[in-house]
Amino acid sequence: MRSWVEVSLSTIRQNYRAVRGVVGAAAEIMPVVKADAYRHGAVEVSRALEQEGAGWLAVSNVEEGVALREAGIGARILVMADFLGDPLSGESGWLQEYNLTPVIHSLNDVAAARVPYHLKIDTGLGRLGTRAAPEDIVRAVAAGKAPMEGLMTHFASAANYASPQTEEQIKKFEIVVRALHAAGLAPRYIHSSATIPVAYRRRPAWGNLVRPGHAIYGYVCPVRGPAPAAALQVRPALTWKAAVLAVKDLEAGALIGYGGMHRAERPMRIAVLAAGYADGIPHRLSNKGSVIAKGKLAPIVGAVSMDLTTIDATACLELRPGDAVTLLGSEDGVSIDAQQIARQAGTISYSVLCGISARVKRVFVE
């Protein structure tokens, strides 16, 4: 194999249990498995989570939900972002046929819904969700033909404890919750929290259902401001490797990569890896990222190209063609995780994980 990821399903299970250990009986857990489970493999990850007792899973669109159903996943599936065809009108039949639960974002869609749904309130993110007044929401839900099973929102600044935005969003959301309760329309599920409010025990944000995504895959983003200590400990479940295609010695002054981006300051040994930006290595790691080769950090030299990346292998002379290096993961006590890569590449860890190309083979291990 040129480049592959190894996904530890036992680590996925352990991370789910860690979330369960934090929330206890206060809330059900709805792991987010959209975007092919953040490129970890949605079907296999969903099976592992279902075995651990997850009664809900969250996806982005109907196609993702259908794929899970066709693979035999039986948990409830919430479709959070968009739909296939026009399922709210009942014409496509996808939601009914595959027992998928849609998130509705506007009061017009409440009127058109023919299956139980979760209604999303835009409390300040400025993205999907209704911004209607509480009395208008109550009126639309009461007039709708399908039952509203859940009410949800999404936080914009959960990791920033120096900002009042999360507290403001909680208050706006609670006003809608109270209005629905007062009208006898209390939804069964109330949910707002992804990983951060769970990890830092922001209990008022939980409702009775939480939606961890990043934590399931082993990450909790750092927070800013006067936050409490993190209560959640998880481990990355994905290791990314690439094969060495060639090893060669270069003289001092040799140029490496497109545009001669790197000039060897001394005689050096380089190794050419079978992975590039088409596989998901950020191009911004050119001349500044690192990989792990034979248990040692080896700098990326020159430009990351579409299919190949070159590293300085001078410190690991035993490296040979056919050997594997670690792009993301741990080896002999040396680690590189998605958050480290993100800092170097000027992006976020979600983007690093989701950026691993579909052409990179997935291998599932316990």
What residue ranges define each of the domains in the chain, with the CATH number in brackets? 8-217 (3.20.20.10), 238-347 (2.40.37.10)
Please classify residue 249 by burial: count the beta carbons closer than 10 Å to its beta carbon, then call 0-12 exposed, 13-18 middle and 19+ buried.
Answer: exposed
- In 3D, which of 5, 101, 21 has the Cα closest to residue 328? 5
Residue 145 burial (C-beta neighbours within 10 Å; 0-12, 13-18, 19+): exposed
Q: Look up the pTM and report it.
A: 0.94
pLDDT, mean over the chain? 95
Q: How far apart are the first and last CA of the chain?
A: 20
Residue 116 CA to residue 114 CA, distance in Å, equals 7
pLDDT per residue, tens digit, the chain (366 aa), is 899 999 999 999 999 999 999 999 999 999 999 999 999 999 999 999 999 999 999 999 999 999 999 999 999 999 998 754 454 444 457 898 999 999 999 999 999 898 999 999 999 999 999 999 999 999 999 999 999 999 999 999 999 999 999 999 999 999 999 999 999 999 999 999 999 999 999 999 999 999 999 999 999 999 999 999 999 999 999 999 999 999 999 999 999 999 999 999 999 999 999 999 999 999 999 999 999 999 999 999 999 999 999 999 999 989 999 999 999 999 999 999 999 999 999 999 999 999 999 999 999 999
**Residues identified as active-site:** 34, 258
